[in-house]
């Protein structure tokens, strides 16, 4: 078997293009060069980011969007959640889960069917610009994403958005707010890491991304 295997050794100094050459070979000749299960593992790493987007974005709809509607900050003052919607909203607000479990998925599904939530999403640029357009895609597919055997697809990856570093107004009003500086820095670093991972995976999977390179 070993005699039938062709092996290549890439030698060169740092920045000479060894990794780039390997990635181009992987792109041109498929996933045969990937270690067993590597592509699946790459995709599975993205699940947590998708979960965070689905949960946090719905919380933005509830806490920023619907709250402003209730205060009369925007039109459509008649918009409100149904009793089932209020129960689902309470569950989502109180949950500390970072995973779209079956219970969280049910709550998201109920909320996404609420006319009030749909209305706030449609008015997102007015009531809460932090609500991403692509979050709709994940809410539409909440049952698929909450399945235990779910593996993100390239289509999913193209829609996940890095979470913006945020701190609540209450924190900024605190005279000791500088203690939260490290928290903000950690978020910035984590989200940059996500962006770089997404770029690497897309370069491996999508032809239009293959020539994208970071500058020195």
**Residues of each annotated binding site:** 19
Q: Which two tokens stand for residue 165?
A: 């570093």
Interatomic CA distance for residues 104 and 153, integer angstroms: 21
Interatomic CA distance for residues 96 and 92, integer angstroms: 8
CA atoms within a 13 Å half-sphere pointing along the CA-CB vector of 1: 0
Interatomic CA distance for residues 145 and 50, integer angstroms: 9
Q: Which two tokens stand for residue 106?
A: 């049910």
Token pair 């209305």 is at which residue? 119
Helix (H, G, I), strand (E, B) or coil at 13: coil
Burial of 32: CB neighbours in 10 Å, binned 0-12, 13-18, 19+: exposed
Helix (H, G, I), strand (E, B) or coil at 27: helix
Q: In sequence order, what are the residues at sequence separation of 6 or more whose Cβ sits closer than 8 angstroms to the Cβ of residue 23?
A: 203, 204
- Binding-site annotation, residues for Mg(2+): 19
């Amino acid at each position: 078997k070993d005699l039938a295997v062709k092996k290549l050794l890439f030698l060169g100094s740092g920045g000479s293009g060894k990794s780039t050459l390997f990635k181009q070979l992987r792109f041109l000749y498929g996933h045969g060069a990937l270690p067993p299960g590597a592509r699946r593992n790459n995709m599975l790493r993205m699940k947590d980011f998708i979960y965070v987007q689905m949960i946090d974005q719905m919380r933005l709809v509830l806490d920023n969007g619907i709250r402003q509607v209730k205060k009369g900050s925007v039109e459509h003052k008649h918009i409100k959640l149904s009793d089932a919607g209020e129960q689902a909203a309470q569950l989502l607000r109180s949950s500390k889960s970072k995973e779209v479990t079956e219970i969280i998925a049910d709550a998201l599904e109920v909320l996404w069917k609420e006319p009030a939530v749909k209305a706030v999403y449609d008015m997102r640029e007015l009531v809460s610009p932090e609500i991403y357009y692509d979050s709709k895609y994940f809410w539409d597919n909440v049952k698929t994403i909450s399945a235990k055997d779910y593996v993100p697809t390239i289509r999913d990856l193209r829609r996940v958005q890095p979470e913006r570093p945020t701190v609540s107004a209450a924190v900024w009003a605190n005279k000791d707010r500088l203690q939260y500086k490290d928290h903000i820095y950690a978020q910035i670093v984590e989200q940059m890491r996500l962006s770089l991972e997404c770029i690497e995976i897309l370069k491996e999977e999508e032809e239009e991304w293959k020539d994208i390179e970071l500058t020195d």
